[in-house]
Protein backbone atom coordinates (compact mmCIF):
# COMPACT_ATOMS: atom_id res chain seq x y z
CA UNK A 1 0.00 0.00 0.00
CA UNK A 2 1.08 3.54 -0.73
CA UNK A 3 0.73 6.58 1.54
CA UNK A 4 1.59 10.26 1.30
CA UNK A 5 3.74 11.91 3.96
CA UNK A 6 4.98 15.49 3.74
CA UNK A 7 5.42 15.76 0.00
CA UNK A 8 6.35 12.16 -0.81
CA UNK A 9 4.43 9.04 -1.81
CA UNK A 10 5.97 6.11 0.04
CA UNK A 11 5.24 2.47 0.84
CA UNK A 12 2.96 2.34 3.87
CA UNK A 13 5.52 0.40 5.92
CA UNK A 14 7.99 3.24 5.34
CA UNK A 15 5.58 6.05 6.23
CA UNK A 16 6.91 7.90 9.27
CA UNK A 17 6.36 11.08 11.22
CA UNK A 18 8.64 12.49 13.92
CA UNK A 19 7.98 11.73 17.59
CA UNK A 20 8.21 15.50 18.10
CA UNK A 21 5.18 16.08 15.84
CA UNK A 22 2.59 18.14 17.70
CA UNK A 23 -0.24 15.98 16.43
CA UNK A 24 1.24 13.08 18.39
CA UNK A 25 2.24 15.13 21.43
CA UNK A 26 -0.82 17.35 21.86
CA UNK A 27 -3.47 16.22 19.38
CA UNK A 28 -2.62 19.49 17.63
CA UNK A 29 -4.18 18.75 14.28
CA UNK A 30 -7.30 17.94 12.30
CA UNK A 31 -8.43 15.21 9.93
CA UNK A 32 -11.01 14.10 7.41
CA UNK A 33 -12.07 10.63 6.35
CA UNK A 34 -14.09 9.58 3.33
CA UNK A 35 -14.70 6.67 0.99
CA UNK A 36 -14.88 5.98 -2.71
CA UNK A 37 -17.78 4.87 -4.86
CA UNK A 38 -16.76 3.31 -8.15
CA UNK A 39 -13.18 4.19 -7.30
CA UNK A 40 -13.95 7.92 -7.05
CA UNK A 41 -13.67 9.84 -3.77
CA UNK A 42 -17.13 10.78 -2.51
CA UNK A 43 -17.68 14.49 -1.75
CA UNK A 44 -13.92 15.12 -1.79
CA UNK A 45 -14.28 18.88 -2.26
CA UNK A 46 -16.68 19.15 0.67
CA UNK A 47 -14.30 17.19 2.87
CA UNK A 48 -11.32 19.32 1.86
CA UNK A 49 -13.33 22.49 2.50
CA UNK A 50 -14.25 21.25 5.97
CA UNK A 51 -10.63 20.24 6.59
CA UNK A 52 -9.61 23.79 5.77
CA UNK A 53 -12.30 25.23 8.06
CA UNK A 54 -11.25 22.95 10.94
CA UNK A 55 -7.59 23.82 10.41
CA UNK A 56 -8.40 27.54 10.39
CA UNK A 57 -10.12 27.23 13.78
CA UNK A 58 -6.85 26.02 15.34
CA UNK A 59 -4.76 28.52 13.43
CA UNK A 60 -3.38 26.37 10.60
CA UNK A 61 -3.77 27.48 6.98
CA UNK A 62 -3.94 24.78 4.32
CA UNK A 63 -4.94 27.00 1.39
CA UNK A 64 -1.57 26.31 -0.27
CA UNK A 65 -2.06 22.57 0.19
CA UNK A 66 -5.65 22.02 -1.00
CA UNK A 67 -4.89 21.27 -4.65
CA UNK A 68 -1.94 19.09 -3.66
CA UNK A 69 -4.10 17.09 -1.26
CA UNK A 70 -6.84 16.56 -3.86
CA UNK A 71 -4.24 15.52 -6.43
CA UNK A 72 -2.46 13.10 -4.08
CA UNK A 73 -5.74 11.53 -2.90
CA UNK A 74 -6.64 10.67 -6.49
CA UNK A 75 -3.11 9.41 -7.24
CA UNK A 76 -3.06 7.19 -4.16
CA UNK A 77 -6.48 5.72 -4.94
CA UNK A 78 -5.27 4.87 -8.45
CA UNK A 79 -1.87 3.51 -7.36
CA UNK A 80 -3.30 1.34 -4.59
CA UNK A 81 -5.92 -0.05 -6.95
CA UNK A 82 -8.41 -1.30 -4.37
CA UNK A 83 -11.98 -2.10 -5.38
CA UNK A 84 -13.21 0.64 -3.05
CA UNK A 85 -11.06 2.72 -0.72
CA UNK A 86 -11.14 4.37 2.69
CA UNK A 87 -9.22 7.64 2.71
CA UNK A 88 -7.91 9.52 5.74
CA UNK A 89 -6.28 12.95 5.50
CA UNK A 90 -4.40 14.32 8.51
CA UNK A 91 -2.97 17.81 9.04
CA UNK A 92 -0.86 18.63 12.11
CA UNK A 93 0.94 21.82 13.09
CA UNK A 94 4.17 19.95 12.44
CA UNK A 95 7.19 19.33 14.63
CA UNK A 96 7.96 21.32 17.75
CA UNK A 97 11.12 23.38 18.01
CA UNK A 98 11.15 23.23 21.81
CA UNK A 99 9.07 21.87 24.67
CA UNK A 100 5.78 23.60 25.44
CA UNK A 101 2.16 23.63 24.36
CA UNK A 102 2.28 27.07 22.73
CA UNK A 103 1.73 26.95 18.94
CA UNK A 104 4.67 29.32 18.73
CA UNK A 105 6.89 26.37 19.60
CA UNK A 106 6.14 24.72 16.25
CA UNK A 107 8.77 24.82 13.55
CA UNK A 108 8.53 24.62 9.78
CA UNK A 109 5.43 23.69 7.80
CA UNK A 110 2.31 21.75 8.78
CA UNK A 111 2.57 17.98 8.39
CA UNK A 112 0.32 16.43 5.74
CA UNK A 113 -0.45 12.70 5.81
CA UNK A 114 -2.81 10.78 3.52
CA UNK A 115 -3.64 7.10 4.00
CA UNK A 116 -5.65 4.99 1.55
CA UNK A 117 -6.78 1.53 2.64
CA UNK A 118 -9.10 -1.10 1.18
CA UNK A 119 -12.69 -0.44 2.22
CA UNK A 120 -14.53 -3.23 3.96
CA UNK A 121 -18.05 -2.50 2.73
CA UNK A 122 -20.97 -3.41 4.94
CA UNK A 123 -23.28 -6.11 3.55
CA UNK A 124 -26.62 -4.90 2.21
CA UNK A 125 -28.33 -7.02 4.85
CA UNK A 126 -26.94 -4.77 7.59
CA UNK A 127 -28.84 -1.80 6.16
CA UNK A 128 -32.01 -3.86 6.01
CA UNK A 129 -31.53 -4.97 9.62
CA UNK A 130 -30.25 -1.70 11.11
CA UNK A 131 -28.04 -0.97 14.10
CA UNK A 132 -28.75 -0.86 17.81
CA UNK A 133 -27.63 2.04 20.01
CA UNK A 134 -27.35 3.20 23.60
CA UNK A 135 -27.34 6.68 25.09
CA UNK A 136 -23.85 7.26 26.43
CA UNK A 137 -22.96 8.72 29.81
CA UNK A 138 -20.39 10.92 28.05
CA UNK A 139 -21.33 14.62 28.05
CA UNK A 140 -20.10 16.58 25.03
CA UNK A 141 -19.05 20.12 25.94
CA UNK A 142 -20.30 23.19 24.11
CA UNK A 143 -16.90 24.14 22.75
CA UNK A 144 -15.22 25.05 19.49
CA UNK A 145 -13.40 21.71 19.43
CA UNK A 146 -16.73 19.84 19.44
CA UNK A 147 -17.52 21.42 16.06
CA UNK A 148 -14.38 20.34 14.21
CA UNK A 149 -12.64 17.04 13.45
CA UNK A 150 -9.64 17.41 15.73
CA UNK A 151 -7.17 14.63 16.39
CA UNK A 152 -8.46 14.36 19.96
CA UNK A 153 -11.30 11.84 19.65
CA UNK A 154 -11.16 10.49 23.20
CA UNK A 155 -14.71 11.48 24.16
CA UNK A 156 -16.23 9.62 21.25
CA UNK A 157 -13.85 6.72 21.80
CA UNK A 158 -15.11 6.40 25.39
CA UNK A 159 -18.71 6.51 24.14
CA UNK A 160 -17.93 3.76 21.62
CA UNK A 161 -16.46 1.68 24.44
CA UNK A 162 -19.83 1.97 26.21
CA UNK A 163 -21.57 0.74 23.07
CA UNK A 164 -19.14 -2.17 22.83
CA UNK A 165 -19.75 -3.12 26.45
CA UNK A 166 -23.51 -3.03 25.83
CA UNK A 167 -23.09 -5.28 22.80
CA UNK A 168 -24.52 -2.72 20.36
CA UNK A 169 -23.13 -0.92 17.34
CA UNK A 170 -23.45 2.75 18.29
CA UNK A 171 -23.74 5.25 21.13
CA UNK A 172 -25.38 8.69 21.26
CA UNK A 173 -23.81 11.51 23.27
CA UNK A 174 -25.67 14.39 24.94
CA UNK A 175 -24.93 17.93 26.03
CA UNK A 176 -25.03 19.06 29.67
CA UNK A 177 -28.81 19.67 29.40
CA UNK A 178 -29.53 16.13 28.20
CA UNK A 179 -30.06 16.97 24.54
CA UNK A 180 -28.98 14.38 22.01
CA UNK A 181 -26.13 15.70 19.85
CA UNK A 182 -24.37 13.03 17.80
CA UNK A 183 -23.39 9.41 17.55
CA UNK A 184 -19.71 8.55 17.95
CA UNK A 185 -18.82 9.27 14.32
CA UNK A 186 -22.16 10.35 12.89
CA UNK A 187 -24.93 12.91 12.80
CA UNK A 188 -28.35 11.92 14.13
CA UNK A 189 -31.77 12.22 12.47
CA UNK A 190 -35.20 11.19 13.66
CA UNK A 191 -38.58 11.07 11.93
CA UNK A 192 -41.66 12.15 13.89
CA UNK A 193 -45.09 12.41 12.25
CA UNK A 194 -43.52 12.63 8.80
CA UNK A 195 -41.11 15.42 9.80
CA UNK A 196 -37.33 14.90 9.73
CA UNK A 197 -35.56 16.41 12.75
CA UNK A 198 -31.82 16.82 13.39
CA UNK A 199 -29.83 18.93 15.89
CA UNK A 200 -28.90 22.40 14.56
CA UNK A 201 -25.37 23.55 13.75
CA UNK A 202 -25.62 25.98 16.65
CA UNK A 203 -25.24 22.89 18.85
CA UNK A 204 -21.76 21.44 19.47
CA UNK A 205 -21.95 19.03 16.53
CA UNK A 206 -19.92 18.38 13.42
CA UNK A 207 -21.34 19.86 10.19
CA UNK A 208 -21.49 16.49 8.47
CA UNK A 209 -21.22 16.16 4.71
CA UNK A 210 -23.87 13.44 4.68
CA UNK A 211 -26.02 15.50 7.05
CA UNK A 212 -26.00 18.26 4.44
CA UNK A 213 -26.77 15.71 1.69
CA UNK A 214 -29.85 14.43 3.55
CA UNK A 215 -31.13 17.97 4.16
CA UNK A 216 -30.73 18.78 0.44
CA UNK A 217 -32.67 15.64 -0.48
CA UNK A 218 -35.48 16.63 1.85
CA UNK A 219 -35.70 20.03 0.16
CA UNK A 220 -35.96 18.37 -3.25
CA UNK A 221 -38.51 15.83 -2.01
CA UNK A 222 -40.57 18.54 -0.28
CA UNK A 223 -40.10 16.70 3.02
CA UNK A 224 -40.27 18.99 6.03
CA UNK A 225 -36.92 19.05 7.86
CA UNK A 226 -36.43 20.83 11.17
CA UNK A 227 -33.09 21.71 12.75
CA UNK A 228 -33.79 21.75 16.47
CA UNK A 229 -32.60 20.22 19.70
CA UNK A 230 -33.67 16.69 20.59
CA UNK A 231 -34.09 15.56 24.16
CA UNK A 232 -33.96 11.91 25.16
CA UNK A 233 -37.76 11.64 25.47
CA UNK A 234 -38.20 12.89 21.90
CA UNK A 235 -35.56 10.50 20.62
CA UNK A 236 -37.11 7.48 22.31
CA UNK A 237 -40.58 8.38 21.02
CA UNK A 238 -39.41 8.83 17.42
CA UNK A 239 -41.11 6.96 14.61
CA UNK A 240 -37.72 6.37 12.96
CA UNK A 241 -34.07 7.13 13.59
CA UNK A 242 -30.95 6.98 11.44
CA UNK A 243 -27.38 8.22 11.52
CA UNK A 244 -25.23 9.57 8.71
CA UNK A 245 -21.56 9.76 7.86
CA UNK A 246 -19.56 9.46 4.66
CA UNK A 247 -18.43 5.93 5.52
CA UNK A 248 -21.73 4.12 6.15
CA UNK A 249 -23.86 6.67 4.31
CA UNK A 250 -27.27 6.29 5.98
CA UNK A 251 -27.61 3.68 8.72
CA UNK A 252 -30.99 2.89 10.31
CA UNK A 253 -31.10 2.76 14.12
CA UNK A 254 -33.77 0.28 15.18
CA UNK A 255 -33.31 0.11 18.96
CA UNK A 256 -32.09 2.66 21.50
CA UNK A 257 -31.48 1.52 25.07
CA UNK A 258 -33.26 -1.69 24.04
CA UNK A 259 -36.41 0.24 23.03
CA UNK A 260 -37.56 -0.64 19.52
CA UNK A 261 -38.23 2.08 16.97
CA UNK A 262 -40.40 1.50 13.88
CA UNK A 263 -41.13 -2.01 15.21
CA UNK A 264 -37.42 -2.82 15.29
CA UNK A 265 -36.77 -2.34 11.59
CA UNK A 266 -35.85 0.53 9.23
CA UNK A 267 -38.79 2.88 8.74
CA UNK A 268 -40.24 4.06 5.40
CA UNK A 269 -38.55 7.48 5.35
CA UNK A 270 -35.18 5.93 6.16
CA UNK A 271 -35.65 3.31 3.45
CA UNK A 272 -36.63 5.99 0.93
CA UNK A 273 -33.51 8.04 1.62
CA UNK A 274 -31.37 4.89 1.56
CA UNK A 275 -32.70 4.00 -1.88
CA UNK A 276 -31.97 7.50 -3.21
CA UNK A 277 -28.47 7.44 -1.75
CA UNK A 278 -27.76 4.03 -3.25
CA UNK A 279 -29.00 5.16 -6.65
CA UNK A 280 -26.94 8.36 -6.53
CA UNK A 281 -23.72 6.48 -5.71
CA UNK A 282 -24.14 3.59 -8.14
CA UNK A 283 -21.84 4.01 -11.12
Domain match, 85 and 172 both:
no
Range list of β-strands (E), the chain: 2-5, 8-11, 29-37, 40-41, 85-92, 111-118, 131-139, 170-174, 179-183, 187-192, 195-198, 225-227, 230-231, 240-245, 249-256, 259-260
* pLDDT (0 to 100) of residue 282: 83
Considering 82, 98, 118, which residue would you say is the last residue of a domain? Answer: 118
Domain match, 102 and 132 both:
no
Q: Assign residue 131 the CATH number of its domain.
A: 3.20.10.10
Alpha helices in the chain (DSSP H): 22-26, 44-57, 66-80, 124-129, 154-166, 209-221, 232-236, 268-280
Domain match, 226 and 257 both:
yes
Structural domain containing residue 203: 124-280
- pLDDT surpassing 70 at residue 223: yes
Q: Assign residue 18 the CATH number of its domain.
A: 3.30.470.10
Domain match, 261 and 132 both:
yes
Q: How far apart are CA 202 and CA 231, in angstroms?
A: 15
Considering 70, 86, 118, which residue would you say is the last residue of a domain? Answer: 118
Tell me the pLDDT tens digit for each residue of 43-61: 999 999 999 999 999 999 9
* pLDDT (0 to 100) of residue 283: 61
Domain match, 19 and 48 both:
yes
Average pLDDT, the chain: 95
* pLDDT (0 to 100) of residue 3: 97
Domain match, 267 and 224 both:
yes
Domain match, 270 and 176 both:
yes
- pLDDT surpassing 70 at residue 138: yes
Tell me the pLDDT tens digit for each residue of 113-127: 999 999 988 999 999
Domain match, 135 and 208 both:
yes
Q: State mean pLDDT over 167-196.
A: 97
Considering 118, 138, 172, which residue would you say is the last residue of a domain? Answer: 118
Q: State mean pLDDT over 127-150.
A: 96
- pLDDT surpassing 90 at residue 82: yes
Total tally of structural domains belonging to the chain:
2
* pLDDT (0 to 100) of residue 65: 87
Q: State mean pLDDT over 2-9.
A: 95
Domain match, 110 and 142 both:
no
Domain match, 155 and 231 both:
yes
Domain match, 64 and 50 both:
yes
Q: State mean pLDDT over 137-162.
A: 95
- pLDDT surpassing 80 at residue 2: yes
Domain match, 93 and 78 both:
yes
Amino acid sequence: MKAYVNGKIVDLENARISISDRGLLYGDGVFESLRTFGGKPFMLKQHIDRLGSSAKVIGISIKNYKLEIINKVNILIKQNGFGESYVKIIITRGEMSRHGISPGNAKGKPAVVIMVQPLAELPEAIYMKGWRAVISSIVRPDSTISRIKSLNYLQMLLAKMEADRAGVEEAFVCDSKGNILEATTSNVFIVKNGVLITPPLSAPILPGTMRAWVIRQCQMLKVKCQMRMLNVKTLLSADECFITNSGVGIMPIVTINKKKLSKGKPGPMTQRLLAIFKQSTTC
